[in-house]
Amino acid sequence: MNNAEILISQLFEGFFLLNNCNKNCIIIQGDRYVFSKIALENVLFNTIKGLYMKKLSVVLLLVFAIIIPVFADKTSHDMNHEYSELMNYVRKNNISINISYDDFVEEYKRGNYESLEEYLNHYYKVLKPQHRFFCINGSGKWYYNTGTTLPQMPKYTKYNLLNNLKAGDIVYEPKGGHGITGHTAIVEGTFTYNGIRYIRVIEANDYGLVRSVLDDDRVDDKGSKILRVSASSNVIDSAVAFCVDQLGKDYSIDFAHDCSCDEEDWYCSELVWAAYILEGFDVETNSWWLNELGVTPRDIWRCSDLEEISIKNSSQQGTNRFVLKVI
């Protein structure tokens, strides 16, 4: 018989004796009990106290074992329902995203939302049906998916891109992407093709993970802004190398925070974020009231650790190289 069973046995035996004696009688049961009713009351109190202390943890475990599964089951049911509703909304409005249920749940946990309703409001706010800015059938702009060639002559007369941009700089385009939260790319560097210098970027778009060109026309078309990470050349080189290694993979908007080199698909800002987070630099805003689902281009634009680099010619801005970033 274990300690808990002994305590319970003593408790029932004590109550039996207590109910069959008056206040001043002496109870004798073999050689185990020799005390008055008052003494017996004290023994019972201590017995109950001991039983309570030993059993408290068990009771709490039983309570949590009952309540938590019920709560979790309800939450799981609600999550399943809202996920299905979200996917119906996406299909109905022809929005090009691919959110798995696991990513949907994981992002909810990661975001520390006060309620499921608040979480969903973030989705519906971001996923407003809008037109696509480029498309995979080739009717997009020439500067997308150019590889290591130049389909046409890039322009570098209006902005000082060739002199001001460096490898590892982040290109933020509020008019890019699918009209959801803009678009981001990472500068691979300045290259030469048939004697022509040009800026090449790596980005995730409808074509997949590709190389593209940044020039004056694209800056005007997409409202491009340039952000710089304050990091060593080794960090910058590693971040760019990571993006190079991902070339050829698929494009998919899933609002996840994936950063594995084995990831099968990427969305634009996730790729840029992953390239730097693997080097210990988080380029996503840490402001809870500005942060959006997953890691969006706007999240990167709003990161206070990044500095916007001016691309204006000296005749347009004087000698000031940096500009104030307005979020």
Is 157's pLDDT higher than 90? yes
Residue 311 and residue 168 share a domain: yes
CA–CA dist 308, 172 (Å, integer) = 10
Per the model's pLDDT, the better-predicted residue between 314 and 34 turns out to be 314
**CATH number, residue 260:** 3.90.1720.10
The Cα 57–Cα 55 span in angstroms is 6
pLDDT reported for residue 24? 45
The predicted structure's pLDDT at residue 70:
44
Residue 327 placed within a domain:
no
> Has residue 238 got a pLDDT over 60?
yes
Distances (CA, A) of 320 to 172, 220, 308, 311, 316: 21, 21, 12, 10, 10
Number of other residues whose CB lies within 10 A of the CB of residue 93: 11
Q: Averaged over 114-125, what is the pLDDT?
A: 80
Q: Where are the alpha helices (DSSP H) in the chain?
A: 3-18, 37-92, 101-111, 116-126, 161-164, 216-222, 233-245, 268-277, 297-301, 314-317
Are residues 101 and 46 both part of a single domain? no
- Determine, yes or no, domain membership for 186: yes
Model pLDDT, residue 37: 47
* 312 and 173, same domain (yes or no): yes
| Residue pair 210/261 in contact by the 8 Å Cβ criterion | no
> Does the pLDDT at position 99 exceed 50?
yes
Residue 228 lies in a domain: yes
The reply to whether 186 and 270 lie within a common domain is yes
The 10s digit of each residue's pLDDT in 67-89 is 445 444 446 678 888 888 888 88
- Environment class of residue 171 by beta-carbon count within 10 Å: exposed (0-12), middle (13-18) or buried (19+)? buried
pLDDT at 47 (0 to 100): 53
Task: Tally the domains of the chain.
Answer: 3
Residues 13 and 55 in one domain: yes
Average pLDDT over residues 250-260: 84
Q: Quote the mean pLDDT of the chain.
A: 77
CA distance 90 to 97: 7
Instruction: Say if residue 37 is in the same domain as residue 95.
Output: no
Which of 67, 83, 112 is where one domain is finished? 67
Same domain, 232 and 108: no
Please give the average per-residue pLDDT across 255-267, as a whole number: 87
Place of tokens 């402001």: 287
115 closest CA partner among 89, 79, 84? 79
Question: Are 106 and 219 members of one domain?
Answer: no
Residue 184 maps to a domain: yes
Per residue in 17-34, pLDDT (tens digit) is 445 554 444 444 444 444
Range of the domain at 290: 161-317
What is the value of pTM for the model shown? Answer: 0.65
